[in-house]
Structure 1
């Protein structure tokens, strides 16, 4: 039934959960890094290898989504800066245009030999009163012209600076757009890779016998684990509450790109559990490995986010006594099991 549910939701998850990308190269498959370490048959071993690869690709896509969103945000900021700088440039050019006619007339008059000084007034005056009148007029013309020329020079300087700023912002906007496009193009390739890997996983899962599928799914809890006892002795805190929320999803299927409410991938389960207590965690396991506060392995507390493999491509919630709650892999429902089965990367407390 769980298998049917997983296959039924696969198409919608691929469309909704893995929509965009970033320039994140796919990590190589780790030798011996199979989430299922006790497979007794070649079929289970093959499925484990394929599932591990698809999980790495899926988490790389989640990380790429974060990168793409950041680049798209940078592109929007660059476009807004360009628009603002262009507005300043337009205003500066408009101010230059106001004083341009005066400067043009002055330049034309000088070219044609116009005389606008006091000596010229003395030479052409017929009487003392005419001389005074002409000198007063020349002073007024000179002051007004001088002021307008000064304002023209100021406006021209502002326009030059605005043009330089506009060019820089245009270059930044073009660069941001190119980066976002490159990330988006890479996303399409990664999405195609994941779809092909998922098809391989589903085929390999279909080749398993019923007994092999039961063995793969395992049990919800490790031997001797009593969830009621664990919950009863938990110390109140945000991590504890996230773990309690996550434990309500035990038995739900693993689906690539899913974040709940009843289907999950590994980082999706962590995101969902913390969302129930009002905290928003990054979408990818790698991003989750960079947030919060670092915690050493010997200081783990229930609800801490625990990362695995050297690329931090798998994640779960610490459930006490060396166990984790996690969405393991396709064909394995959400469960609690020993974290000793996986190569420890690090832990964070949110």
Structure 2
């Protein structure tokens, strides 16, 4: 549960000193509440980082498209420049009225053969000029289209860069909030007695847990084999943002376990909740991935009989524990 801190936002992470716990039970509950808040912030920061990575990649791709479009435009302009002398000469001839035609050929010819030769030259020059004028028009049209593409690509690159900057700012805010919340958790942890710390950590396995029976008939590459890999990490500490190999947060443990069996699972609990195929709670099998809370800020691996293996929170090592005390959201089969 979220406890007295309510629905999480970006805000103060450390409780008012005036409300300091007066009993061991209150101290433990404060630690639980602060740890829950930190876990949510941790997943939010991870999501912001993933979003930033996506936005940066989109920005880089948009900038490359803009650069390619600009290069195409430059090439189109260079082609126009090749035809410019022809256009200038044609324009000059038209302006001065000096362009040769069949009538002037007739007037200046001294013989029928000379007339035929002159007219042939006129036809050739005219055809060549017309062809170059046509090529010039094509080059001009291409340059106009390239300019439109280049302008659109440049605008897209600018927008993508702005989006990345916005997400980067959001990430920095979430990281700052997480750092403050972590400090609060560590301070609350320091207030606990050794006995309270031990009680909070609990046992690594519930009574009667039979690992061998659970993993009987294990299929390589399956969820069960990922569960088997995760079981080797029981006892490792919970650390915000950690992905192994000997310390984890909740989604980091799931990612690490499935990586051991050749599956490239996303980093955050929210991303993981869209990976694989959905499974009803009543149809859960060992190795399925289970998600908790309305914001999907916690994740574990189902271990049969209503149990899950998870990295739960600061001060509690990776362990197998009952699912019932955590609000179930959904499940997936990877």
Relative contact order: is structure 1 or structure 2 higher (C-alpha 8 Å, sep ≥ 6)? Answer: 1
Moved more, 238-247 or 218-227: 218-227
Residues 41 and 174, structure 2, Cα contact 8 Å, conserved in 1: yes
Q: Deviations over 1:250-295 (max 9, x none)?
A: 1111000001111010001101111111111100000000111000
Residues 286 and 302, structure 2, Cα contact 8 Å, conserved in 1: yes
Q: Choose the corresponding residue for 1:337, options 318, 321, 327.
A: 321
For residue 41 of structure 1, give the secondary structure of its aligned residue in structure 2: helix
1:138 Cα shift? Answer: 1.3
The corresponding residue for 1:28 is 7
Equivalences for residues 238-249 of structure 1 within 5 A: 238-249=222-233
The corresponding residue for 1:20 is none
Q: Deviations over 1:313-346 (max 9, x none)?
A: 0000000000000001000011111100100000
1:307 Cα shift? Answer: 0.2
* Mapped partners of 1:46, 1:106: distance in 2: 88
1:76 Cα shift? Answer: 1.9
TM-score (norm 2): 0.90
| Corresponding position: 1:291 with 2:270 | no
TM-aligned CA distance change 1:237 to 1:159, over 3 Å: closer
* Mapped partners of 2:226, 2:326: distance in 1: 22
> What 5-or-longer segments of structure 2 have no aligned partner?
1-5, 10-22
Q: Choose the corresponding residue for 1:211, options 166, 171, 195.
A: 195
Residues 29 and 52, structure 1, Cα contact 8 Å, conserved in 2: no
Q: Choose the corresponding residue for 2:132, options 148, 151, 154.
A: 148
The corresponding residue for 1:117 is 101
* Mapped partners of 1:314, 1:142: distance in 2: 79
The corresponding residue for 2:27 is 43
The corresponding residue for 2:42 is 58
1:152 Cα shift? Answer: 0.6
For residue 98 of structure 2, give the secondary structure of its aligned residue in structure 1: coil
Moved more, 175-184 or 143-152: 175-184
1:79 Cα shift? Answer: 1.8
TM-score (norm 1): 0.86
Residues 308 and 320, structure 2, Cα contact 8 Å, conserved in 1: yes
TM-aligned CA distance change 1:234 to 1:141, over 3 Å: closer
For residue 47 of structure 1, give the secondary structure of its aligned residue in structure 2: helix
